[in-house]
Amino acid sequence: MIVRNVLITLWLLLGMVPSIYANQMPTHKSLADLTIPEGWQLIDNLKVFNQERLAHIRGTHDDYKVFDKVCFDLLAAWQSYANVTAIPELAKLQYCQQKLNVYGYAGFQPDAPHVPPEIQELYLLWSQSNALIPPIDRSKGRFRQYSHITNAALGSFAAYYAVFYDYFDYSELQRDLVERMFVGNLLYVEPKHLLDTNDSVCDADNLDVTISGLSSGVISGNACGSAHWSLIQGELLLGLKLGNEALFSKGLESIDWLLNFFAVDGAYLPYVIGTKGDAYGNLVTVPQYLGVFTEVFATLGYDFLKHKLPSGKTVKEILDGLVNVFANPELLKQYIESGSGNQSAINWQVSVYTARPPASKFRLKHSKLYDMDFSQLNSATALRLASYSWIEFARQSARYVDEYRPDLAQYRRVDYIAHGINGRGVDMITAYSVLDPYMLYEANHLSHTGAPISLTQNKQGGSSFVYVPKSKRAQAYVSASQRVKPITPEEHLQALALELTGGTPEDAQSGAQFGVVEDGRQQFDIDWYLIRAGTNVNEPQLVGTDQIIITDNSAQLVLSDKHFFPSRDSRGKLQIWVLNSQTIAMIGELELDYYGISYKTQLLGNLRSGFGYGDVGIYGDILAFHIK
């Protein structure tokens, strides 16, 4: 350990870095010629950037605006997890790492622009123990998982330090400690440090060898996967901020190396072959990384979208290919089936851990395995299962959309409120990336174009996603309301009520203007409709059907065996009352997605119309039901 630290110090003092990719990474003159300009700055218009930052705070769930002691203590003991063998324990480490990244934005106080003290303290703690570096001994714990998490953290935390450098309240000595840790470790880490003893590194010189290795499992998807994308962000941004040419050059070499592994159709091979059934869910993370690099290189006057990959394709063409794959998920089947084992299905396990105050320990809140054959997937379903949306793509790839794909501009949202799946407002900040490309694009692009900035309105003048019901009366209502203002969830509810009952939601809920229906039945079908706010699918969706048994003063659901959201378990726990033989009320907590977060819900309806609804969640989503 002492020898390694001495070598790192010498590299820093002499400005040298070993060419760890020399035999496998061809360089391209356009990138290799880039140097750090004197007086470089990441953000051109700090006022616009801070507007975006404050908007992000407003759009972030309250859980991320505090950093609980459970996560702090866990992260402070980072190195102790090198010996951990239980994967759920390592999942807690990554959960807290991602939460710290989000908290890095949400924990800012609007009137006091300082990095949250928990982050400043953790960086100092880690610098004293040099925690953020993979262990040499691969025989202990879950080396591959621990190394992957540690390197992702090293890259993302270093990038955060570079972006918010001026907001750290460090003394000169403290800065020296933190920067030596980040720079030294980033220069030291090689691709092999993420791998178990028997794993192989992706081979950029021979793509066939890489494809064969990914298919057989000799090369894992992580060998050239997410942690590398994170490390590159740290290398580029911190190298530029500190004027460290060695670190910046390593970032350029690293990105050139990773670009070797894109197929001509835009698929990133380590994800679509190496991660098998997780292919689609991993592939949707790529636009975030490419978007960050596009905006960082734009500050150097370099158009990364025109950069040519070893395949001859440009980054712009890779994004074209990704758009095609996202729209046609069945295209991935050729890659999935090239691997070993049963790869005909998209499958993943989702585990969500909560550690919210005053909780004293972690709780496994949700863990399920889902399978679905690619032949059953359309684009909307695949994107939803991957917790992704065209709105997020348009945000991550703003420069690409504006310059090359005006057809995708309809998905542009410029606020941080409810822009992702189920309205989540924190998707741009992940365990692997601490920079929202759109924040940079706004702060740098608008300062040159003079375009006005709006943090609350859609640039296209309203939602382009319109529910088209069957009845002409409902169609007329939607058409008229769209001409006046953007369609809202409430207006979609109006159209749905007209379609199903012929009346307004209020009348249908109260039973007014509806006659009493007495056909002697007690068991009915109940359709569930979900209207999501701020997503790319905010028109009413018929998500599934249960049955309901109704008596004079109570009702009971007979749950369908088919999977849909709200989840079966949470629907089964709804408390249901029938009042005055006509009003039906449902109260409980419903899970709306794979993340397993429960939202308090109260639904109110009327048996005369069979229609009811209520708000669910914190983002303005509406859940409606129709008993028939």
Residue 584: CATH number of its domain: 2.40.128
Give the count of alpha carbons within 13 A of 270, CB side only.
24
Burial class (CB in 10 A: 0-12, 13-18, 19+), 14: exposed
* Dihedral of alpha carbons 192, 198, 204, 210, sign: negative
439 plus 513 within the same structural domain: no
- Note whether residue 500 is domain-resident: no
CB 204 within 8 A of CB 261: yes
The tokens describing 551, both together, are 């008596």
The span from the CA of 271 to the CA of 194, in Å, is 16
- Note whether residue 563 is domain-resident: yes
The span from the CA of 480 to the CA of 360, in Å, is 53
Burial 591-610 (b: 16+ CB within 10 A, else e): bbbbebbbbebebebbbbbb
What's the pLDDT at 4?
37
In the chain, which residues have pLDDT < 50? 1-28, 339-371, 417-426, 448-487, 515-517, 534-537, 594-595
The span from the CA of 210 to the CA of 228, in Å, is 16
SS3 397: coil
State yes or no: cis peptide before 566, omega within 30 of 0. yes
The span from the CA of 207 to the CA of 516, in Å, is 70
Residue type, 141: G
What's the pLDDT at 341?
30
What's the pLDDT at 28?
38
How many domains is the chain built from?
2
Place of tokens 């369908």: 560
515 plus 443 within the same structural domain: no
The span from the CA of 503 to the CA of 489, in Å, is 17
Beta bridge partners of 585: 577, 604
CA Rg value for the chain: 26
The span from the CA of 456 to the CA of 476, in Å, is 27
Q: In degrees rounded to 5, what are phi and psi of residue 477? A: -65, -45
89 plus 227 within the same structural domain: yes
Domain encompassing residue 225: 37-449
416 plus 543 within the same structural domain: no
565 plus 428 within the same structural domain: no
What's the pLDDT at 431?
78
What's the pLDDT at 41?
92
Last residue of one domain, picked from the residues 406, 433, 449: 449
What's the pLDDT at 366?
34
- Note whether residue 231 is domain-resident: yes
262 plus 380 within the same structural domain: yes
Residue 136: CATH number of its domain: 1.50.10
Last residue of one domain, picked from the residues 449, 471, 499: 449
- Note whether residue 569 is domain-resident: yes
Residue range 59-97, pLDDT digits in tens:
555 556 667 788 889 999 999 988 888 887 888 888 888
205 plus 73 within the same structural domain: yes
- Note whether residue 461 is domain-resident: no
The span from the CA of 482 to the CA of 459, in Å, is 15
- Note whether residue 458 is domain-resident: no
Instruction: Count Cβ atoms below 10 Å from residue 296 Cβ, excluding itself.
Output: 22
| DSSP track, 13-69 | HHT----TTTTT----HHHHT----TT--S-S-HHHHHHHHHHHHHHS-GGGSS--H
Full-model pTM? 0.65
Closest CA to 235 of 289, 288, 275, 302: 289
Last residue of one domain, picked from the residues 430, 449, 468: 449
- Note whether residue 409 is domain-resident: yes
Burial class (CB in 10 A: 0-12, 13-18, 19+), 420: buried
371 plus 232 within the same structural domain: yes
What's the pLDDT at 160?
95
- Per-residue DSSP letter, 457: S
Q: What share of the chain is helix, strand, coil (3-state, %, to 5)?
A: 50, 15, 35
217 plus 353 within the same structural domain: yes
At how many degrees (to 10) do helices 117-129 and 143-163 cross?
130
- Note whether residue 456 is domain-resident: no
206 plus 335 within the same structural domain: yes
CB 170 within 8 A of CB 178: yes
